A and B are shown apart, each in its own frame.
Chain A
């Protein structure tokens, strides 16, 4: 008994070791060499601790944000940045997140094996982020322990099967039928963008004929973009708040210089977190892929959104700018409709807006790209604000999840959690069942359309 007690309390309750254990199991399953196995496991554990270090920097850099927005606008100010909130959340829900991630991947495998929706979600950081959303929302609603991980795993596995399936009809148009699907949790934004493109895009030419100046390359360096935006935002907010609001933080120094340095510290924190995420995923994702190939060899891999960027690079820039404009417009209406002030986060607007542009362009040319991404910008402002009230204590940390699917899944799970444990189980089973049915119907239709065009696609990646 003593041994089991030790394993449960000393190892499985340590999130870093739990994630390391997942990597170890994956490496053993792939029959890697002993040196690879040791390095991979250690690096994963290191990555998790680095994540925590980055979280500390981010928390420090975000401290004055709340005070500035409160003093300047009398609102609660939030910068949606997945990496930041995920790193902060691991302190309270690290172990639950890791178990939900593993359970969710298992559910995704089972569904891909048994239903027509044969998609394996391989975007590791989004699995990790969605697992965090579910751990936080359920945990904050008082659902803990085994129920938290079962419900979380069911939701994660279901949405990571369903979203690639629902996006796939549009995805095929984007990639010209390349043998992979989209695994990215802003899929609601891409579906909306594609439908808008269909509606408005009659006779609209493609974005790819537009000549984009070569010197826009710096836009693709998201770390630089994030830091630049934070500098501009912090200086504007500091001016609006005035020196008094910041005097308690600035330790007698100049309040603008203080805001400037905190904005740069935010960028540094993100850089540290990204390094941690990179080290965690370096082993987990290939392990997930190796396991998936053995269990569902005929499935399509669902991959990260920049895999679509190469098919319409100009649409990415057009979408990013449109989405950002949408974010800025909707930022001004958040206060009047009683929501938190959502400051546009560069990372979500670039990746989500850029991909929404690619999808809007595929279904409706330039007009589709501009309007589809613009609406995406509204969505990734309003939905993160609505999610805040379900995040418990973390909702007060001045950052939140940025993408649409994190928002709606979190809101649904949080709403169900009010029914008590039994009610939550019933509601989850019903809704996840409906989701699987929807994913299956769409997949069968997509497959049928494909067979009529006479091209097969059962290629495993």
Chain B
């Protein structure tokens, strides 16, 4: 399972997102590798799930993989709630 956190540059807010996702994974008892990427590279980088903001999710919708849109980058609860269904779908 590979999760890609995406923002404009690939090291600012996506880094924040990555740290929150890693905390959420720990809390949920799930394992996955989380890496950051900029919007340009994210179009081609291998991943199972993309986590990003609403503006970027429109640009990545043609990837054909689940995209999780986040409003508050530090809200672990929001990310847990949105990631859980993705994991459940994968495990089916």
The interface residues of chain A lying within 8 Å CB-to-CB of B75 are: 178
Is there an interface contact between B19 and A286, defined as CB atoms closer than 8 Å?
yes
Q: Nearest B residue to A285 by beta-carbon distance?
A: B15
Q: Does B38 contact A (CB under 8 A)?
A: yes
Is there an interface contact between B70 and A310, defined as CB atoms closer than 8 Å?
yes
Is there an interface contact between B58 and A313, defined as CB atoms closer than 8 Å?
no
With beta carbons under 8 angstroms apart, the residue of A180, A306, A309 that contacts B74 is A180
CB-CB contacts below 8 Å: B14-50 with A: 15-16, 18-20, 22, 35-36, 38-40
Binding site for A on B (CB under 8 A): 7-13, 15-16, 18-20, 22, 35-36, 38-40, 53-56, 58-59, 70-75
Is there an interface contact between B40 and A278, defined as CB atoms closer than 8 Å?
no
Number of interchain pairs (Cβ within 8 Å):
102
Q: How far is the CB of A354 from chain B (nearest CB, A)?
A: 10
Q: How far is the CB of A210 from chain B (nearest CB, A)?
A: 15
Q: How far is the CB of B45 from chain A (nearest CB, A)?
A: 12
Is there an interface contact between B8 and A306, defined as CB atoms closer than 8 Å?
yes
Q: Lowest 10 A-B CB distances belong to which pairs? A: A304-B12, A306-B13, A278-B11, A461-B74, A281-B11, A307-B73, A180-B74, A304-B13, A310-B53, A310-B71
Q: Nearest B residue to A347 by beta-carbon distance?
A: B9
The interface residues of chain B lying within 8 Å CB-to-CB of A179 are: 74
Q: Given A178-B72, A217-B58, check contact A303 B10 (CB 8 Å).
A: no
Chain A 295-332, CB within 8 Å of chain B: the 1/0 string?
00000010111110111010010000000000000000
- In the complex, what distance in Å separates the CA atom of A415 from the CA atom of B76? 44
Is there an interface contact between B40 and A214, defined as CB atoms closer than 8 Å?
no
The interface residues of chain A lying within 8 Å CB-to-CB of B16 are: 122, 301, 303-304, 307, 461
Is there an interface contact between B55 and A309, defined as CB atoms closer than 8 Å?
yes
The interface residues of chain B lying within 8 Å CB-to-CB of A310 are: 53-55, 70-73
Chain A 449-461, CB within 8 Å of chain B: the 1/0 string?
0000000000001
The interface residues of chain B lying within 8 Å CB-to-CB of A123 are: 12
Q: How far is the CB of A170 from chain B (nearest CB, A)?
A: 18
- In the complex, what distance in Å separates the CA atom of A178 from the CA atom of B71? 11
**Stretch of A150-158, A221-229, A258-266 on the interface side:** A221-229
Q: Does A80 contact B (CB under 8 A)?
A: no
Is there an interface contact between B12 and A125, defined as CB atoms closer than 8 Å?
yes
Known contacts A220-B39, A278-B9, A310-B71, then 17 further A-B pairs from the complex at CB < 8 Å, ordered by chain A residue: A122-B16, A125-B11, A125-B12, A178-B74, A221-B59, A222-B9, A278-B10, A281-B15, A282-B11, A282-B15, A282-B35, A301-B16, A306-B8, A307-B16, A309-B13, A310-B54, A311-B71
Q: Given A217-B58, A221-B39, A223-B38, check contact A277 B53 (CB 8 Å).
A: no
Q: Does A356 contact B (CB under 8 A)?
A: no
Q: Nearest A residue to B7 by beta-carbon distance?
A: A306
- In the complex, what distance in Å separates the CA atom of A459 from the CA atom of B74? 10
The interface residues of chain B lying within 8 Å CB-to-CB of A122 are: 15-16
Q: Does A124 contact B (CB under 8 A)?
A: yes
Is there an interface contact between B40 and A221, defined as CB atoms closer than 8 Å?
yes
Q: Does A289 contact B (CB under 8 A)?
A: yes
Q: Does A57 contact B (CB under 8 A)?
A: no
Is there an interface contact between A220 and B54, defined as CB atoms closer than 8 Å?
no
Is there an interface contact between B56 and A220, defined as CB atoms closer than 8 Å?
yes
The interface residues of chain A lying within 8 Å CB-to-CB of B55 are: 217, 220, 309-310, 313, 316
Is there an interface contact between A220 and B74, defined as CB atoms closer than 8 Å?
no
The interface residues of chain A lying within 8 Å CB-to-CB of B56 are: 220
Q: Does A274 contact B (CB under 8 A)?
A: yes
Is there an interface contact between A217 and B36, defined as CB atoms closer than 8 Å?
no
The interface residues of chain A lying within 8 Å CB-to-CB of B73 are: 180, 303, 307, 310
> Which of B7, B22, B74, B75 neighbours the largest number of chain A CB atoms within 10 Å of its CB?
B74
Q: Nearest B residue to A280 by beta-carbon distance?
A: B11
Q: Nearest B residue to A308 by beta-carbon distance?
A: B13
The interface residues of chain B lying within 8 Å CB-to-CB of A278 are: 9-11, 36, 38
- In the complex, what distance in Å separates the CA atom of A450 from the CA atom of B65? 42
With beta carbons under 8 angstroms apart, the residue of A217, A305, A316, A461 that contacts B20 is A461
The interface residues of chain A lying within 8 Å CB-to-CB of B70 are: 310
The interface residues of chain A lying within 8 Å CB-to-CB of B59 are: 217, 220-221
Q: Nearest B residue to A123 by beta-carbon distance?
A: B12
The interface residues of chain B lying within 8 Å CB-to-CB of A316 are: 55
Is there an interface contact between A282 and B53, defined as CB atoms closer than 8 Å?
no
> Which of B7, B10, B16, B54 neighbours the largest number of chain A CB atoms within 10 Å of its CB?
B16
Q: How far is the CB of A125 from chain B (nearest CB, A)?
A: 6
- In the complex, what distance in Å separates the CA atom of A316 from the CA atom of B13? 15
The interface residues of chain A lying within 8 Å CB-to-CB of B20 are: 461
Q: Nearest A residue to B69 by beta-carbon distance?
A: A310
Q: How far is the CB of B5 from chain A (nearest CB, A)?
A: 11
Q: How far is the CB of B56 from chain A (nearest CB, A)?
A: 7
CB-CB contacts below 8 Å: A329-371 with B: 350-351
- In the complex, what distance in Å separates the CA atom of A184 from the CA atom of B36? 19
Q: Given A178-B72, A282-B36, check contact A221 B8 (CB 8 Å).
A: yes
With beta carbons under 8 angstroms apart, the residue of A289, A306, A311 that contacts B19 is A289
Q: Nearest A residue to B10 by beta-carbon distance?
A: A278
- In the complex, what distance in Å separates the CA atom of A309 from the CA atom of B8? 11
